[in-house]
Structure 1
Amino acid sequence: MGSETRGPAGHARLHAVGPGEKSTPRAAAQPWENRYRSYVIIADVVATLLVIVTGALLILDITGRPYFLHASGTALAILCSLPINHAWSQHVLGEGTEEFRRLGRSLVIAAVVVALAGLLFGALDVQPWVFYAVPAVALIAFPLRYGLRQVLHRKRRAGECMHSVIAAGSADTLRDLIERTRTESHVGWQVSAVCTAAGQGERATGEIGGIAVAGRLDELADQVRRGGYRVVAVTSDPHWTPERLQQLAWDLEGTGAELVVAPVLMEIAGPRLNVSGVLGMPLLRVSAPTFTGGRRVVKDIVDRMGAAALIVLAAPLLLGIAALIKLNDRGPVFYRQLRVGRDGRTFTMVKFRTMVIDADRLRHGLLGDNEGSGPLFKLRRDPRITRIGAVLRRYSLDELPQLFNVLGGTMSLVGPRPPLPAEIENYERAARRKLLVKPGMTGLWQVSGRSDLSWEEAVRLDLRYVEDWSLALDMAILWKTFRAVTGGRGAY
């Protein structure tokens, strides 16, 4: 069995073992996984019972009629739908949108079942349970799940509640995977050992990215059986032929380890990828991205309705900011700038003014101090920014007037960063694909580091959004944007 030590945060860490050592039992769910799953189940049950009991008492108080059969039937439908739709599966808890998608699908199915049961048995007074009780359960269950996830992610940032991973592939792809697991600890992967084609590390160190090389690629299954790793991550390498990957999957049967294979198309994910069998071969189908059609019409409607609602709600804040800017130096409240939108069409983007009145004229004298990446011009301590402007920028309040751009149809709530005309002159072919959709007030670049991102990383995130857009992704980005701007991370 591989030796086990305790890391800085006290979590177990498995080490590579030699060929002569005794095998360990199959990898099993760790205690923290079982506890976390129990907390999720308890949260869902509590949310369901709380709403159902409250609803039964309120409806009884209003109508004077007992609704205990309706209440118990609704509760039963929800609590049966959750496990049937695998909403409590450990494979989806704690990471990604699939957990919330399954929770939402379970509640929708439960509502449909209650409605159909009401029609079948002639109980037409089930409408309150379908249209009020089930949505109320969602309003409680989703925040509870999100809160539990935040606790889990906090522990993972401290090095706890991690899945032990053994990775196998080429040195470059392994190094990239190791770096990603370190920077994105919320995923819960901790690479504990790696395997390479020759069983050697970088520059004869016996390590790759600070992780010990356990052996060769053809020894991977043996290492998994001995080390008890929970995840086997296979990255690109000429060694991995279809026959060898199939044999590896067979060899891992009974170990309890999850086999994860990284496809060559690293930046394509989500609904555009589908696995299907054709001519007896498993094929990865990549559908074309959608830039027109019904889904885009829905997005445009949601954008404009959302912008209108936010303008009404934020009206007092908008007026207050405008007054502060005007009182500060008697200059104009808004800053208008020409930007490039969809299909290369230019439009005037509106923001609250955060710099001195002659900021554009002073820009030429600051070019030598540019800290921006690529064609971007950025300064962490830009002397042109006013005191009020610094606060507005920190919390992205200067961008609120862009809601009028969204309302007018030149921008979206979520989309790629709107570039300047001078910037697109230096765009490569890949970066120009950002112009296939409307620019957004926020996007993946906003929730992933904002001004701290390199130019290459910002382009990669924008292209990922353009290629894999969905309404669910928009909702997730809007929520993460709220968290990013309230924390003021990466803004200057």
Structure 2
Amino acid sequence: MTILSDNRRLSSVSAPSRMLRYLPTSALIIDATIIVLIGALAVTGRRELPLFGEPASVEMSLVIAGPLILFGWLLAVALNGGYRKDVFGAGLDEFKRVLNGSLIAAGLTGVVSYLAKFDLSRGFFVLAFALGVPLLLMGRWSLRRALHAARVRGALRQRVLLVGTRAHVDETFSVLRREKWLGYQVVGALTPEWDLSEETPMGLPIVGNANEAAAMAMDAQADALFFAGGSVGSSSQLRRTVWELEKHHIDVVVAPSVSDISNERVRIRPVGGLPLMHIDPPTWSDASRWGKRTFDIVGSAALILAFLPLIAFASLQIWLFDRGPVLFRQTRIGKDGEEFKCFKFRTMVVNAEALVADLQKQMGQSALLFKMKDDPRITKPGSWMRRFSVDELPQLFNVILGDMSLVGPRPQVRKEVDLYDSAMSRRLHVRPGMTGLWQVSGRNDLTAEEAMRLDLYYVDNWSMIQDIAILCRTLGAVLASRGAY
């Protein structure tokens, strides 16, 4: 492979985004703006609101102390690492640093005021930090949402070279290409010198060999180098490459051959200078405990009461349309392979099951996760009920009965379960859910393989916080009708 051809391959990819260097500055400006506004609100609130005794004017006492408190707040967040460039974009580290910095600022403000015998208004103090902390976190969340949206559109990305064998490179490439919000633009691969291929099986161009990683990273104007399996012959070789890249401020990322593992299950423990990755066992057994079951019962009972008028209206619409059955009861497979009757509002013609085989042949689809747009079996009231997932409200009674959970993999019929391989059978370790990770990640717009991967991730990495997050995201997915048909 000639250098000329390598340069042509690399020049076909957009230039690296240098706007990323301004992310910390943008976060600082947002934080400063929020804190100044919160200071003004706290002063106004203490003057106008009788929450802390008689309303009082505190402007004079805060002429000097106010700016010092606000500046100290920003400084505490900064010293806690809240503006480091590696905290933006993914993970909870950014929010933890902002929260911890804010709590330190609040604590120091109280201690210094006491030691200096400064008469700081308690109303101002409580209002400033009680309002400021959540608003700072919301500001960071908004910045992250904007960053993710820009990256999905192709902006604010880091140029990345992947180093390793073709199989390991493709494994990493598939994740980075799928999760566009991470902001990694893969420009090529570097493989061992014995590999003379021009591209990987997934079509990623091979632009050089792993022994030239540092030089190729500079030629490609790469922002980061990902070292996957088979990338280097020894740890000393990797160390020398890191030293070389350090001079040019190119990030180094080691991508182990581990995927779909939540950060809560991963622990890095250095032993004798060797960083060892410890992976905790899957958490699916925790999803069967009393805490989740209690949450399901209380949550489903509350939702039934809240949606009772809608349930009654949908039932009437179905009956008036064709005088057919209101509910559709279908045998589904639940936890540990046990069968149960899954309740849904009937959204299709009465003989819909008899027509499915012909439709599968027409669409050329497998029985596994079979779905189609503009399904001719759907009735008029069924169309709007499917669009907003109203047809699934009767499954709240399945949750009460213990057949289902509010959150989990979708229940499937026997012929779909019979197509499972050994990995997919792990879905049966937990109760099926009314909503799940794949529903809030694209619903029917996802391929069957993507939906399976998300279900398996949920089973292996279950947590109550994740369940609550999925329920919150479900509301947005339903209202926007994303992937619903």
Query: One fold, TM greater than 0.5?
Result: yes
Q: Which residue of 1 aligns with 2:167?
A: 172
Q: Which residue of 1 aligns with 2:135?
A: 140
- The equivalent position to 1:151 in structure 2, one of 116, 132, 146, is 146
> How has the CA–CA distance of structure 1 residues 164 and 488 changed in structure 2, closer, same or farther, with 3 Å as cutoff?
same
Q: Within 5 A, what are the aligned runs for 1:15-414?
A: 31-61=18-48, 62=50, 63-66=54-57, 72=66, 75=70, 78-107=73-102, 126=122, 134-198=129-193, 202=197, 205=198, 211-237=204-230, 239-292=232-285, 297-369=290-362, 372-373=365-366, 375-414=368-407
Asked whether the equivalents of residues 372 and 379 of structure 1 are also in contact (C-alpha less than 8 Å), the reply is: no
**d(CA) in 2 for partners of 1:345 and 1:124?**
64
In the TM superposition, what is the alpha-carbon distance from 1:386 to its structure 2 partner?
A: 0.9
In the TM superposition, what is the alpha-carbon distance from 1:227 to its structure 2 partner?
A: 4.0
> How has the CA–CA distance of structure 1 residues 415 and 97 changed in structure 2, closer, same or farther, with 3 Å as cutoff?
farther
> How has the CA–CA distance of structure 1 residues 368 and 374 changed in structure 2, closer, same or farther, with 3 Å as cutoff?
closer
Asked whether the equivalents of residues 374 and 455 of structure 1 are also in contact (C-alpha less than 8 Å), the reply is: no
- The equivalent position to 2:408 in structure 1, one of 415, 423, 440, is 415
> How has the CA–CA distance of structure 1 residues 135 and 439 changed in structure 2, closer, same or farther, with 3 Å as cutoff?
farther
Q: Which runs of 5+ in 2 are unaligned?
A: none
Asked whether the equivalents of residues 176 and 182 of structure 2 are also in contact (C-alpha less than 8 Å), the reply is: yes
**Is 1:457 the equivalent of 2:446?**
no
**d(CA) in 2 for partners of 1:140 and 1:367?**
51
**Is 1:439 the equivalent of 2:432?**
yes
Q: Which runs of 5+ in 1 are unaligned?
A: 14-29
Asked whether the equivalents of residues 47 and 58 of structure 2 are also in contact (C-alpha less than 8 Å), the reply is: yes
**d(CA) in 1 for partners of 2:449 and 2:99?**
35
> How has the CA–CA distance of structure 1 residues 199 and 50 changed in structure 2, closer, same or farther, with 3 Å as cutoff?
farther
Asked whether the equivalents of residues 76 and 105 of structure 2 are also in contact (C-alpha less than 8 Å), the reply is: yes
1:23-61 CA distance string (max 9 Å, x none): xxxxxxx64123333332222233333234323322332
In the TM superposition, what is the alpha-carbon distance from 1:168 to its structure 2 partner?
A: 0.9
- Structure 2 letter corresponding to 1:153: H
Asked whether the equivalents of residues 286 and 462 of structure 2 are also in contact (C-alpha less than 8 Å), the reply is: no
In the TM superposition, what is the alpha-carbon distance from 1:342 to its structure 2 partner?
A: 2.9
**d(CA) in 2 for partners of 1:175 and 1:146?**
31
> How has the CA–CA distance of structure 1 residues 470 and 108 changed in structure 2, closer, same or farther, with 3 Å as cutoff?
farther
Name the SS of the counterpart of 2:85 in structure 1.
coil
1:109-133 CA distance string (max 9 Å, x none): 6566678889998999858955x65
Deviates more, 1:336-345 or 1:387-396: 336-345
**d(CA) in 1 for partners of 2:69 and 2:398?**
44
Deviates more, 1:357-366 or 1:328-337: 357-366
**d(CA) in 1 for partners of 2:239 and 2:463?**
33
**Is 1:12 the equivalent of 2:15?**
yes
Q: Which residue of 2 aligns with 1:467?
A: 460
**d(CA) in 2 for partners of 1:380 and 1:325?**
21
**d(CA) in 2 for partners of 1:64 and 1:265?**
59
In the TM superposition, what is the alpha-carbon distance from 1:275 to its structure 2 partner?
A: 0.9
1:432-453 CA distance string (max 9 Å, x none): 2222222222222213332243
**d(CA) in 2 for partners of 1:46 and 1:302?**
39
Asked whether the equivalents of residues 165 and 229 of structure 1 are also in contact (C-alpha less than 8 Å), the reply is: yes
> How has the CA–CA distance of structure 1 residues 297 and 140 changed in structure 2, closer, same or farther, with 3 Å as cutoff?
farther
Percent identity, please: 34
Deviates more, 1:106-115 or 1:296-305: 106-115
**d(CA) in 2 for partners of 1:470 and 1:112?**
31
Name the SS of the counterpart of 2:28 in structure 1.
helix
**d(CA) in 2 for partners of 1:156 and 1:116?**
43
Q: Which residue of 2 aligns with 1:27?
A: none
**d(CA) in 1 for partners of 2:174 and 2:55?**
63
> How has the CA–CA distance of structure 1 residues 106 and 360 changed in structure 2, closer, same or farther, with 3 Å as cutoff?
farther
Asked whether the equivalents of residues 168 and 174 of structure 1 are also in contact (C-alpha less than 8 Å), the reply is: yes
**d(CA) in 1 for partners of 2:106 and 2:340?**
45
Name the SS of the counterpart of 2:189 in structure 1.
strand
> How has the CA–CA distance of structure 1 residues 298 and 359 changed in structure 2, closer, same or farther, with 3 Å as cutoff?
same
Asked whether the equivalents of residues 210 and 231 of structure 2 are also in contact (C-alpha less than 8 Å), the reply is: no
> How has the CA–CA distance of structure 1 residues 262 and 78 changed in structure 2, closer, same or farther, with 3 Å as cutoff?
same
Q: Give the number of aligned pairs.
A: 472
Deviates more, 1:276-285 or 1:63-72: 63-72
- Structure 2 letter corresponding to 1:470: S
**d(CA) in 1 for partners of 2:470 and 2:152?**
21
1:289-324 CA distance string (max 9 Å, x none): 234569955444444444444444444444433333
> How has the CA–CA distance of structure 1 residues 161 and 368 changed in structure 2, closer, same or farther, with 3 Å as cutoff?
same
> What is the Cα-based RMSD across aligned positions, in Å?
3.9
- Structure 1 letter corresponding to 2:41: T
**d(CA) in 2 for partners of 1:480 and 1:7?**
39
Asked whether the equivalents of residues 52 and 74 of structure 1 are also in contact (C-alpha less than 8 Å), the reply is: no
> How has the CA–CA distance of structure 1 residues 101 and 206 changed in structure 2, closer, same or farther, with 3 Å as cutoff?
same
Asked whether the equivalents of residues 338 and 420 of structure 1 are also in contact (C-alpha less than 8 Å), the reply is: yes
> How has the CA–CA distance of structure 1 residues 238 and 4 changed in structure 2, closer, same or farther, with 3 Å as cutoff?
closer
Asked whether the equivalents of residues 337 and 349 of structure 1 are also in contact (C-alpha less than 8 Å), the reply is: yes
What is the TM-score with the length of structure 1 in the denominator? 0.80
**d(CA) in 2 for partners of 1:409 and 1:247?**
58
Name the SS of the counterpart of 1:429 in structure 2.
coil
